[in-house]
Amino acid sequence: MNAIIDELRAICPISTTGADLAEHARDWWPLAMRWALQAQVPQLPSVVATPSTTDEVRRIVLACARHDTPLTVTAGRSGVSGASVPLFGGVVLDTTHLRGVVSVDRTSGIVEVLPGTFGPDLERAVNEHGLTVGHFPQSFDISTVGGWVACHGAGQFSTRYGKIHDMVVGLEVVLADGSVIRTGGAPAAAHGPDVSAMFIGSEGTLGVVTRVWLRAHEVAPVRRKAAYFFASFADGVAAMREAIRAHATPAVLRLYDAIEAQRSHGGDGSNSTLIVLDDGEPEIVAATLAVVDRCALAHGAVRAPDERVDHWLAHRNDTSGLQALTKKGFVIDTMEVAAPWSKLTSVYTNVVAATSAVSGARSVSAHVSHSYLDGACIYFTFVGQLSSRDITDATTAEHERLYLAMWNAAQRAALTAGANLAHHHGVGLNRGRFMREAMGDAFNVVMALKQALDPRDIFNPGKLGLPTRRGAMPWSGSST
Ligand SMILES: Cc1cc2nc3c(=O)[nH]c(=O)nc-3n(C[C@H](O)[C@H](O)[C@H](O)COP(=O)(O)OP(=O)(O)OC[C@H]3O[C@@H](n4cnc5c(N)ncnc54)[C@H](O)[C@@H]3O)c2cc1C
């Protein structure tokens, strides 16, 4: 590795300190966090490189290719699936020095931004032009534009502003052979397959995204809110479906089952709660909320105080409750999948039943978080408890066993009931074992793309469930 480290030193700032290497060997995936706490990461990278130009990225990629060294891109490291864990060591390319808004086309509402730009910095810059990108993931403060693109993310206001693929106008990408391509451009091109789409969700396995052009919207003049209680989760889902099918698409439309409604909003745990928030022109917002109101009442809802929405707004990015439970030794994770409306309630009941049946599972709950004309994302939280809460080697193995058992039960029940594998947390390391099962022979196309663009398996080997030529996987999970 010394030869490549010397080459990288001549290109951009690098670090080989133990603290930096360890820090860049984990993201927010619960197992990666736990491994990091116990100094048991699968493998440390040898060096962290922090380029600040596309040309520096290109030269790093070429150096890795010459030395046949794996290259893992890391950004905010807020991923929750282990996507940026450098499984086979090598070089970590940290994008956070590739940051800032480069230009704003105010007339078209297009912002050109570097990939390591964090959410607040992007919004502040476009707000100065009276614009918003409208992408507000719960991890807004700790995630980057490149990470949103690479993980196919969704923000909390996506029902109005769309998912990241609705926002991407084009990309600049450095490929494994060192070439730099520009995708997209003017809207709605019909010149063959959409090349931008091939990189959205590719999780650093096909290239390094070095520049992004995003659609931005006028900052909304009006915001309105509403909230409802439903006697059952199924009634709430029916009301949401009707509103969305009638093209009422408020920025936020979230339905919490009774457990989550009580956890977040208090109450006696007998009602599901729907919260609604819309931003836009006053006439459109008024019409949207009127349709939602009609659909909710038609399904037996009772109007709830708007404070429910204020409470959600104030606490929506606060994960301290789950973190406190983790520190107490509970085994916790979340799983987000999307399903057609016709299957959404059976996905809910089947996942809750299958996961609750796992020995050690204590609580399984869900909310519907993002809606589309044909279906919605349902976001589960599961909590398990070990008999002993001391962190020892034995409980670590036990922790992982319970964690995998809950994931396998939940994911398989979701797939069987007609949901997809992931809605916005991606695949990373955690879900690789389900890719063939979820995609069938369509996965062959993903493998062929990887083979065509990165035949020497330089980029993020071992992720997305892709086969790797770099040896046995240090961790692949157990699917049974
Ligand atoms: C508390 C919390 C809440 C979250 N809420 C949401 C949410 O509401 N919506 C949502 O979508 N996600 C959410 N996430 C997940 C996570 O924040 C997203 O996946 C985010 O997009 C990751 O961005 P990042 O900059 O942290 O990327 P990282 O975690 O550093 O990297 C993720 C993957 O992207 C690749 N990558 C990053 N940048 C590039 C690039 N420039 N070129 C090529 N590959 C790249 C990496 O190699 C890796 O495979 C949440 C996470 C946490 C911890």
* 206 and 112, same domain (yes or no): yes
Q: What is the CA radius of gyration of the chain?
A: 22
Give the mutation target among 78, 145, 312, 377 for probing the ligand 1 site: most ligand atoms within 8 A of CB: 78
State residue 396's pLDDT score.
79
Q: Is the shortest distance between the CB of 147 and ligand 1 below 6 Å?
A: yes
Q: Is the shortest distance between the CB of 201 and ligand 1 below 6 Å?
A: no
Instruction: For residue 103, give Cα distances in angstroms to 100, 112, 121, 212, 213.
Output: 9, 5, 14, 11, 9
Residue pair 420/339 in contact by the 8 Å Cβ criterion: yes
To the nearest 5 percent, what fractions of the chain are helix, strand and coil? 40, 20, 40
State residue 478's pLDDT score.
80
Dist CA 358 CA 352 (whole Å) = 10
Q: Is the shortest distance between the CB of 137 and ligand 1 below 6 Å?
A: yes
* 123 and 11, same domain (yes or no): no
The residue from 218, 242, 277 where one domain ends is 218
Dist CA 362 CA 320 (whole Å) = 19
* 163 and 258, same domain (yes or no): no
The tokens of 294 are what?
């009609």
Dist CA 469 CA 466 (whole Å) = 10
In angstroms, what is the span from residue 76 Cα to ligand 1's centroid? 7
Sequence-distant (≥ 6) Cβ neighbours of residue 451 within 8 angstroms: none
State residue 392's pLDDT score.
63
State residue 309's pLDDT score.
95
Residue nearest ligand 1's atom 14 by CA: 139
In angstroms, what is the span from residue 80 Cα to ligand 1's centroid? 7
When divided into structural domains, the chain yields a total of: 3
Q: Supply the range of the domain harboring residue 174.
A: 98-218
* 205 and 102, same domain (yes or no): yes
Tokens 């991890």 — which residue? 139
* 139 and 196, same domain (yes or no): yes
CATH number of the domain where residue 240 is located:
3.30.70.3450
The residue from 315, 335, 361 where one domain ends is 315
**Count of beta carbons in the 10 Å neighbourhood of residue 191:** 7
In angstroms, what is the span from residue 211 Cα to ligand 1's centroid? 16
Domain presence at residue 434: no
The tokens of 336 are what?
């987000």
Q: Is the shortest distance between the CB of 429 and ligand 1 below 6 Å?
A: no
Dist CA 440 CA 442 (whole Å) = 5
Tell me the residue length of the chain.
480
Q: Is the shortest distance between the CB of 139 and ligand 1 below 6 Å?
A: yes
Residue pair 44/25 in contact by the 8 Å Cβ criterion: yes
Sequence-distant (≥ 6) Cβ neighbours of residue 439 within 8 angstroms: 421, 446
* 10 and 122, same domain (yes or no): no
* 145-203 tens-digit pLDDT: 999 999 999 999 999 999 999 999 999 999 999 999 999 999 999 999 999 999 999 99
* 41 and 123, same domain (yes or no): no
CATH number of the domain where residue 9 is located:
3.30.43.10
State residue 35's pLDDT score.
84
Low-confidence ranges of the chain (pLDDT < 50): none
Domain presence at residue 464: no
* 308 and 230, same domain (yes or no): yes
Q: Is the shortest distance between the CB of 89 and ligand 1 below 6 Å?
A: no
State residue 40's pLDDT score.
76
In angstroms, what is the span from residue 119 Cα to ligand 1's centroid? 11
State residue 320's pLDDT score.
84
* 60 and 110, same domain (yes or no): no
* 241 and 187, same domain (yes or no): no
Phi, psi of 85 (to 5 degrees): -75, 120
Q: Is the shortest distance between the CB of 95 and ligand 1 below 6 Å?
A: yes
* 45 and 135, same domain (yes or no): no
